[in-house]
Amino acid sequence: MSKEHPTSTDADRCAHLAQTHGWLWSAPAPADHGTPATLILAHGAGAPMDSEFMNDIAERLAALGVGVLRFEFPYMAQRRIDGGKRPPNPQPQLLECWREVYAEIRLNIRGRLAIGGKSMGGRMASLLADELQPDALICLGYPFYAVGKPEKPRVAHLADLLTPTLIIQGERDALGNREAVEGYTFSRQILVHWLPTANHDLKPLKAAGVSYQACLQDAAEQIAKRLAG
């Protein structure tokens, strides 16, 4: 465990970890009672931990009382150093990175701890959820299949998942639209929350009569509700 004062809070310890490792920490708004939940949130394949989307959702969650700790996979961290574009690391390396990050944070958190991420980050978390045994799994825009390949879904492990899971999905997501996803068999622990006409980035069509900001706020509120208690 980090060398912190014994009376330090989860937020204090997360802030210390973020400073030590170069991660990002969005501290939760003060709660009337209890210890706020913490969400470890991983980025997607093409955007870093401080992308506009990641910043926005982290700020919204923090305002609702959920602390958000963000990290980067090795390939993205290297891109930050040299600016070079590179594909994601092989899956085993991504999973091992998740294990290492979770193990250190779990040692420092006394309250509820959830894992999840945007797209690829959430999918990698889902592959480890039952192994790591967090309090919850949160996926934002889950990549159920590659673009144009709905005949090859990545859902086998979701049928038997034991971890309480919330998937926030856009109805017209090119990596998992509503028609395709509703045909899959999921564990009873999984709840899918649909955003009307939204795409993979959770952006709705103008014709839907709902704004992008409203969709992000809805997503944040659903996550905060799931992590409460």
* 83-103 pLDDT tens trace: 888 899 999 999 999 999 999
| 144 closest CA partner among 177, 117, 110 | 177
Does the residue 2 lie in any domain?
Answer: no
| Dihedral over Cα of 140, 86, 69, 109: its sign | positive
Residue 207 has pLDDT above 60, yes or no: yes
Does the residue 3 lie in any domain?
Answer: no
Does the residue 5 lie in any domain?
Answer: no
Q: Which of 22-26, 83-87, 108-112, 169-173 has the lowest mean pLDDT?
A: 83-87
Residues 127-146, mean pLDDT to the nearest whole number: 98
- Provide DSSP, 109-167: --S-EEEEEETHHHHHHHHHHHHH--SEEEEES---S-TT-TTS---GGGGS--S-EEE
Does the residue 88 lie in any domain?
Answer: yes
Residue 2 has pLDDT above 70, yes or no: no
Residues 59-85, mean pLDDT to the nearest whole number: 95
Residues 35-48, mean pLDDT to the nearest whole number: 96
Contacts with 225 (C-beta within 8 Å, 6 or more apart), sequence order? none
Long-range contacts of 98-103 (CB under 8 A, 24+ apart): 98/42, 98/124, 98/125, 98/128, 98/132, 99/128, 99/132, 101/40, 101/71, 102/40, 102/128, 102/132, 102/134
Does the residue 4 lie in any domain?
Answer: no
Residues 100-108, mean pLDDT to the nearest whole number: 97
CA 183 to chain centre: 24
Does the residue 1 lie in any domain?
Answer: no
Does the residue 170 lie in any domain?
Answer: yes
Residue 213 has pLDDT above 90, yes or no: yes
Contacts with 64 (C-beta within 8 Å, 6 or more apart), sequence order? 28, 29, 220, 221, 224
C-alpha dihedral, 151 to 154 to 142 to 11, nearest 10°: 180
Check: CB of residue 144 under 8 Å from CB of residue 175. Answer: yes
Domain count, the chain: 1
Predicted TM-score (pTM) of the model is 0.94
Position 13 scores a pLDDT of 96
Does the residue 27 lie in any domain?
Answer: yes
Check: CB of residue 46 under 8 Å from CB of residue 119. Answer: no
Contacts with 148 (C-beta within 8 Å, 6 or more apart), sequence order? none
Alpha carbon distance 188, 197 (integer Å):
25
Residue 33 has pLDDT above 80, yes or no: no
Residues 64-77, mean pLDDT to the nearest whole number: 97
CATH number at residue 205: 3.40.50.1820
Alpha carbon distance 141, 173 (integer Å):
7
Which range marks the domain in which residue 123 is found? 10-227
